[in-house]
Structure 1
Amino acid sequence: MITANVRSVFMQVVVGIVAALCAVSSGLTLGFSAISLQPLREANGTDHLDEDEASWFASISSIATPVGCLLSGPLLDGLGRKRTMMALNAPFLLGWVLLAAAPSTSSPVAQLYTGRVLTGFASGIASIPATVYLAEMAQPSLRGMLVTWASLSISVGILVVYLLGSVLQGAWRITAAICGVVPVVNVILVLLILPESPVWLLRKGRRQEAERAMRWLRGIPKGNPTPGHVTHEIEKMAIAGQNENEVHGALANVRFILQQLRRPEAWKPLIVMNGFFFFQQVTGIYVVVYYAVDIVGEAGVSIDPYLATVLLGLVQVVGALGVGFALNRCGRRPLSILSGIGQAVCMVALGLYLQFADTKNSSLTWVPLVAMLIYVIAGSIGFHTLPWAMLGEVFPSRIRGIAAGSTTCVAYIYSFVMLKIYPNLVEGCRALSEHSSSEGLFYFFGITSVIAAVFVWLWLPETHGKTLQQIEMEFAGIANPPDMEKEQVQNQSVKM
């Protein structure tokens, strides 16, 4: 039994790694503007971007991302989880090729914008599949860790592009070309390793394929009988699949969608998750990612800005990696509250430093770098990671694709607004400051982080250790699902 459990965990971890790697290109897209904006603004001739063009270059990918988010749900339902994770790499590849091949002999602005739009569009499609796939295939005892790996991969992608920017300073075309290799590798790995989601296969009436996929995911050798707890999982998925098939044809009907959204198990998580993503954006997490080099300068960090961004990317990866393990012990709510409080403390400290310290002669020049690093760690353990991790958990399976897609669509609209107005916020804060610095911006992020922590405390549900069915029933107001006790006993039996 121990050997079977270890084999099951190993297979789920392998599948989790491959699925999560699909999000690496999203991280590369997020971080690319940070390392390319400065050389593009400082370039002479046709490569030069003025401030308005630079802000569009940074933010325009977020315009296309909501479109990809809306398309992601129908692709997941129509093509399946596996084929969607393969298809999303095509616009990524084309976008990176356009960026890498942007001409230097004529104005490259249109091509640069197009490349950013394509990678942003692909990021939108990529925002859901890995998380949904991991939530559907993982046992409850592992799901808390595995669903965070897509966010971890985004952090890895950000770190990689920051490293490339530090090593290849100014050579943003070469960086784009290297980033273009990642989608090709992703397609090969997904094709060779991942089975299709058993949940999706059962919904399509492909029972035998679903059983084979489930046996593979649980590490059951060929010829061995299917264990009882695996059979129980398949039966529950089959029942859910039958219910979905009854309404699947109606998903294209607006009336049906609105009818489903009237159910508390649909509208409650929809409101909560949209609020969660709103605070993710207004607390400045993605502003720091997109404008990392600029933010480091605004914060008064004295070391090389490219080296500072690498440190920020590194601690973000460490934080995202740690949260995957912490979730199995701490849950979502405590980490999110700690994240909001940590962000608030760091931003207020940074604002106070800029307002009162002599930034040129002070012996406290280490404060802004430490504050920025702790801020990124605080974001990684909560607001940067958990909204994405919870997307695959909180919505009913019958509208999971649509609900998750619309939520991420709205999230990236928030992101676009914040990224586009960031230069204006900086100039406004400087105009109001006696020190010609932007401490007001950091105070703003600190205040919104406090409000975000209060939001989590009041409204974010705890999903730790619960099956997807239990989460749905609790949103519906069923406090004690009839099979909860049985599920908890089975979950304990598969823990290492």
Structure 2
Amino acid sequence: MSAREETEEGRGLRKPFLHTGSWYRMGSRQSSVTGSSQSQVIRESSISVLACVLVVALGPIQFGFTSGYSSPTESAIVEDLGLTVSEFSLFGSLSNVGAMVGAIASGQIAEYIGRKGSLMIAAIPNIIGWLAISFAKDSSFLYMGRLLEGFGVGIISYTVPVYIAEIAPQNLRGGLGSVNQLSVTIGIMVAYLLGLFVEWRILAVLGILPCTMLIPGLFFIPESPRWLAKMGMMEEFETSLQVLRGFETDISLEVNEIKRSVASSSRRTTIRFAELKLRRYWFPLMVGIGLLILQQLSGTNGVLFYSSAIFETAGIKSGNAATFGIGAIQVIATAVATWLVDKTGRRVLLIVSFLMSDSLWYVNGPFIFILLKTKKIYVHSIYIFHFLAYQFMVIGFSLGMGPVPWLIMSEIFPVNIKSLAGSIATLSNWFFCWVITMTINLLLTWSSGGTFAIYMVVSAFTVAFAALFVPETKGKTLEEIQRSFR
């Protein structure tokens, strides 16, 4: 931008960058268009961004399909390949190990080759992994395929929410960002559903479909404009932003705001360890990483991991069919959260979600323990009450605990440490996911009451954490969020 243009901007004059198709205020002047033209521009922008979100949402669908694959296929794989229960458990847990490795690399990959490039890289090991599983003759191919899938999922779990946050308008960012978790639940549900009808090798072949559709789709969507600006590709940055906001929209204000943010963060591309004590760094790091850790320590994912066993020991003939029902409930509840998050805000959903979880742990904890450990089947109204409480626990998780931590993470990390902070947050989430799923049975053996007391305390602590520390980011641009931490 020339000095003359900067002077004109400072005086409140409109830069003739592109034809105006929306209203905005600059200095003391305000430009507007008719209501119908404005609505048309908003629709054009929303459609462009939504199309991009739907393409990258194939990534978290792959994420969910990987998570859901092991549940309906356990008995068939164990029988066909002669695996022991411990060998299959290792197979299931290796996706978490691969995801931790992918999480470590995700930030740097997304930083150096872009958000689209990192998703392309993530798709390749996923495809190879599914093919390895589908042709497996022994456990070695199963393990290799599961590790490769996990590696790709680890990259996807960081990159997709960041990309969506960076392209979405501020008034739609919450809902569009929640599409990430909605897509994960859809992937899980699809894996459960198809697992009822097809054998495990065919199901593995079907697992390659999301990524095989993702790769060509990435060629038709723009790169993140904020990443392009950070990399100094200003012409591509403005073109990308114009495509996302609509060709009739004046993007001058947003261009200038992003340029100022990038310029301030580029004055020092790295920070010293001692500078982490500054609030602008330690506060968003504490909130983002803390939420993703507490999401897992709440214990809900651990119980969901054993949902088929819970239903079967409760006397339901098909645990897989009942688990599909839980998957459907998750999709519906997450869709509701996607609609609510830009209306109620992030903090409200988090607090309500964890309050539901905390109270339902008290109601449902002993019930789950009895089913898993004593195999006692209730046939009276108490059983029905606890069974419904289990459903509401899933709904509570899906309303806030599931989608909102990933959304907050994608919004609040400072630009100059986003890749490192995002990698640490994603790694922490996957590590504690692995810890919870590996230890829940040991904890139940130690003490059922103690186990659920731990989960209740964590949920109660998270309510206080969200109320005291989590900032409300609804309706703010990413640059405004960053300025608020200073």
Count of aligned residue pairs for this structure pair: 445
Preserved contact between residue 159 and residue 310 of structure 1 (Cα < 8 Å)? yes
1:235 to 2:217 alignment: no
Match of 1:285 among 267, 289, 300: 300
Match of 1:31 among 41, 44, 68: 68
> Unpaired runs of 5+ in structure 2?
1-37
Task: Report the AA paired with residue 85 of structure 1.
Answer: L
Task: Report the AA paired with residue 123 of structure 1.
Answer: V
Preserved contact between residue 130 and residue 204 of structure 2 (Cα < 8 Å)? yes
Preserved contact between residue 301 and residue 365 of structure 1 (Cα < 8 Å)? no
Task: Report the AA paired with residue 473 of structure 1.
Answer: R
The whole-number CA distance in structure 2 between the counterparts of 1:72 and 1:396 is 17
The corresponding residue for 1:67 is 101
The whole-number CA distance in structure 1 between the counterparts of 2:47 and 2:315 is 43
The corresponding residue for 1:77 is 111
Preserved contact between residue 310 and residue 368 of structure 2 (Cα < 8 Å)? no
The corresponding residue for 2:30 is none
Task: Report the AA paired with residue 418 of structure 1.
Answer: I
Q: Secondary structure at the match of 1:141?
A: coil
Query: Once the 2 structures are TM-superposed, how far is the Cα of residue 12 of structure 1 from its aligned partner?
Result: 1.6
Q: Deviations over 1:358-399 (max 9, x none)?
A: 734424443343222211111011111111111110111121
The corresponding residue for 1:47 is 82
Query: Once the 2 structures are TM-superposed, how far is the Cα of residue 110 of structure 1 from its aligned partner?
Result: 2.0
Preserved contact between residue 100 and residue 427 of structure 2 (Cα < 8 Å)? yes
Q: CA RMSD in A?
A: 2.3
The whole-number CA distance in structure 2 between the counterparts of 1:287 and 1:58 is 13
Q: Secondary structure at the match of 2:290?
A: helix
Q: Residue 292 and residue 57 in structure 1: after superposition, are their counterparts in 2 closer, same or farther (change >3 A)?
A: farther
The whole-number CA distance in structure 2 between the counterparts of 1:312 and 1:396 is 37
The corresponding residue for 2:202 is 174
> Unpaired runs of 5+ in structure 1?
430-437, 477-496
Query: Once the 2 structures are TM-superposed, how far is the Cα of residue 231 of structure 1 from its aligned partner?
Result: 0.8
The whole-number CA distance in structure 2 between the counterparts of 1:370 and 1:449 is 20
Query: Once the 2 structures are TM-superposed, how far is the Cα of residue 424 of structure 1 from its aligned partner?
Result: 2.3
Match of 2:467 among 454, 457, 466: 457
Q: Deviations over 1:40-96 (max 9, x none)?
A: 45x26x43223x323322222112212211211111111011111222101111111
Task: Report the AA paired with residue 47 of structure 1.
Answer: G
* Residues 171-320 of structure 1 mapped to structure 2, 5 A cutoff: 171-192=199-220, 194-220=221-247, 227=250, 230-248=251-269, 251=270, 256=271, 258-297=273-312, 300=314, 302=316, 304-320=318-334
Query: Once the 2 structures are TM-superposed, how far is the Cα of residue 441 of structure 1 from its aligned partner?
Result: 4.6
The corresponding residue for 1:327 is 341
Question: How does the TM-score come out when normalised to structure 1?
Answer: 0.84
Query: Once the 2 structures are TM-superposed, how far is the Cα of residue 356 of structure 1 from its aligned partner?
Result: 8.9
Preserved contact between residue 8 and residue 218 of structure 1 (Cα < 8 Å)? yes
Preserved contact between residue 30 and residue 289 of structure 1 (Cα < 8 Å)? no
Preserved contact between residue 86 and residue 191 of structure 1 (Cα < 8 Å)? no
The corresponding residue for 2:29 is none
Q: Secondary structure at the match of 2:143?
A: helix
Q: Residue 267 and residue 355 in structure 1: after superposition, are their counterparts in 2 closer, same or farther (change >3 A)?
A: closer
The whole-number CA distance in structure 1 between the counterparts of 2:268 and 2:454 is 45
Q: Secondary structure at the match of 2:255?
A: helix
Q: Residue 331 and residue 137 in structure 1: after superposition, are their counterparts in 2 closer, same or farther (change >3 A)?
A: same
Preserved contact between residue 88 and residue 122 of structure 1 (Cα < 8 Å)? yes
Preserved contact between residue 88 and residue 125 of structure 1 (Cα < 8 Å)? yes
The whole-number CA distance in structure 2 between the counterparts of 1:57 and 1:418 is 16
Q: Residue 196 and residue 261 in structure 1: after superposition, are their counterparts in 2 closer, same or farther (change >3 A)?
A: same
Task: Report the AA paired with residue 280 of structure 1.
Answer: Q
Task: Report the AA paired with residue 62 of structure 1.
Answer: N
Q: Residue 405 and residue 53 in structure 1: after superposition, are their counterparts in 2 closer, same or farther (change >3 A)?
A: same
Query: Once the 2 structures are TM-superposed, how far is the Cα of residue 465 of structure 1 from its aligned partner?
Result: 1.4
Query: Once the 2 structures are TM-superposed, how far is the Cα of residue 37 of structure 1 from its aligned partner?
Result: 2.8
The corresponding residue for 1:94 is 128
